[in-house]
């Protein structure tokens, strides 16, 4: 296999420009870095356009190379210098895929039957956003909505923080918060805003029904006009002396609390107690 060693190669430059949002939006493509993300991208049909891999990564991850071959995805061997140019991490893992956009329309992500959703309002930090996406996936959420003032889910740091979860569940982008709230209610979900201004704590709220959690900006939270979109504002209880939780941690607590109660409720319906004789 011929190896790309020149960072000025047209193919390398075409991939490298996807680190910029303007080019991502124009080409409707993004970069997925590392074995976990690449493996999950390859598991979806017609998502991966091409794969760059160092010789060391090829020998370390033969399963990924086999999956690429089976999917008909071109694999380009890249030198360490080229891989460093393509990636945005201090220590590249030697695998990088060019992928097509995977988000879906809002009305496809949030619809009747949806039970748990994360709505991101003005969330700007890509690491936090990607971690919320990963947490929502782990908690069994049905969708994540990145509203129009939030970070691009295809930002490199966001993709890495999602650890492959970007490819696992429906992700919607670009809707205004009010539009996302309207669609959420039309689909039968109530909206709970996670905010320190909540009158009730997470321990005091019934979490059994279909729920969309609204999470705000890392620094200033949710402004009054967005809190007004929620059915209730709920705060995560602080039992110790910490002032607050960061966004990703608060989202994990809220999503898992809902998931636990919803699963318990579902199992109690599926397995009703046996009547006493």
**Does one domain contain both 95 and 173?**
no
- Domain end, chosen from 66, 100, 134, is at 100
The number of residues making up the chain comes to 277
Q: CA-CA distance, 98 to 31, in Å (whole number)?
A: 5
The residue from 100, 129, 164 where one domain ends is 100
Output the pLDDT for position 268: 66
The string of pLDDT tens digits covering residues 173-215 is 999 999 999 999 999 999 999 998 888 999 999 999 999 999 9
Q: Angle at Cα 136 formed by Cα 131 and Cα 140, nearest 5°?
A: 150
Give the DSSP H/E element, type plus range, for residue 213. strand 211-215
pTM: 0.90
- Both tokens of 249, joined, read 């941690």
Q: Please, what is the average pLDDT of the chain?
A: 92
| pLDDT at position 210 | 96
Indicate the pLDDT class of residue 111, thresholds 50, 70 and 90: very high
CB hemisphere CA count around 169 (13 angstroms): 24
Do the domain assignments include residue 44? yes
Measured CA to CA, the distance from residue 21 to residue 1 in angstroms comes to 31
The percentage of the chain sitting over the pLDDT mark of 90, rounded to a whole number, equals 81
Lowest mean pLDDT among 114-118, 163-167, 201-205, 261-265: 261-265
Contact in structure between 202 and 253 (CB atoms under 8 Å): yes
b/e sequence 181-207, b meaning 16+ C-beta within 10 Å: bebbeebebebbbbbeebeeebeebeb
Q: Which residue has 């029904």 as its token pair?
A: 209
CATH code of the domain in which 233 resides: 3.40.1280.10
Whether 275 maps to a domain, the answer reads no
pLDDT tens across 213-260, in order?
999 998 888 999 999 999 999 999 999 998 888 999 999 999 999 999
Which residues, other chains included, contact 56 with Cβ-Cβ below 8 Å and sequence gap of 6+? 94
Q: Tell me: pLDDT of 272 over 70.
A: no
Which residue from 260, 248, 206, 262 is spatially nearest to 118, judged by alpha carbons?
Answer: 248
> How many domains does the chain fold into?
2
pLDDT tens digits for range 42-78: 999 999 999 999 999 999 999 999 999 999 999 999 9
Last residue of a domain, one of 65, 85, 100: 100
CA pair distance 249, 252, nearest whole angstrom: 5
Residue 27 placed within a domain:
yes
Quick one: 246 and 211 in the same domain?
Answer: yes
Q: Are both 129 and 190 inside the same structural domain?
A: yes
């Amino acid at each position: 296999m011929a190896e790309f060693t020149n960072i000025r190669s047209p193919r390398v430059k075409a991939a490298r420009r996807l680190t910029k949002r303007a080019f991502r939006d124009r080409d409707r493509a993004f970069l997925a870095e590392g074995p976990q993300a690449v493996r999950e991208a390859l598991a979806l049909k017609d998502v991966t356009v091409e794969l760059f891999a160092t010789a060391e990564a090829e020998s370390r991850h033969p399963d990924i190379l086999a999956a690429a071959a089976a999917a008909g995805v071109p694999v380009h061997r890249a030198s360490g210098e080229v891989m460093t140019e393509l990636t945005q991490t201090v220590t590249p893992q030697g695998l990088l895929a060019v992928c097509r956009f995977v988000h879906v329309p809002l009305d496809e992500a949030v619809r009747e039957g949806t039970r748990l959703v994360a709505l991101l309002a003005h969330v700007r930090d890509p690491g936090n956003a990607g971690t919320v996406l990963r947490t929502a996936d782990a908690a069994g959420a049905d969708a994540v909505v990145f509203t129009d003032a939030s970070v691009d889910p295809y930002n490199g740091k966001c993709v890495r923080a999602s650890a492959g979860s970007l490819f696992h569940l429906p992700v919607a982008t670009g809707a205004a918060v009010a539009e996302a709230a309207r669609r959420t209610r039309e689909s039968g979900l109530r909206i709970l805003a996670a905010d320190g201004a909540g009158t009730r704590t997470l321990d005091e709220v019934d979490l059994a029904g279909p729920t969309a959690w609204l999470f705000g900006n890392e620094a200033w939270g949710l402004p009054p006009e967005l809190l007004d979109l929620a059915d209730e504002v709920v705060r995560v209880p602080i039992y110790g002396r910490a002032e607050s939780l960061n966004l990703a941690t608060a989202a994990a607590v809220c999503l898992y609390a809902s998931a636990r109660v919803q699963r318990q409720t579902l199992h109690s319906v599926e397995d009703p107690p046996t009547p006493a004789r």
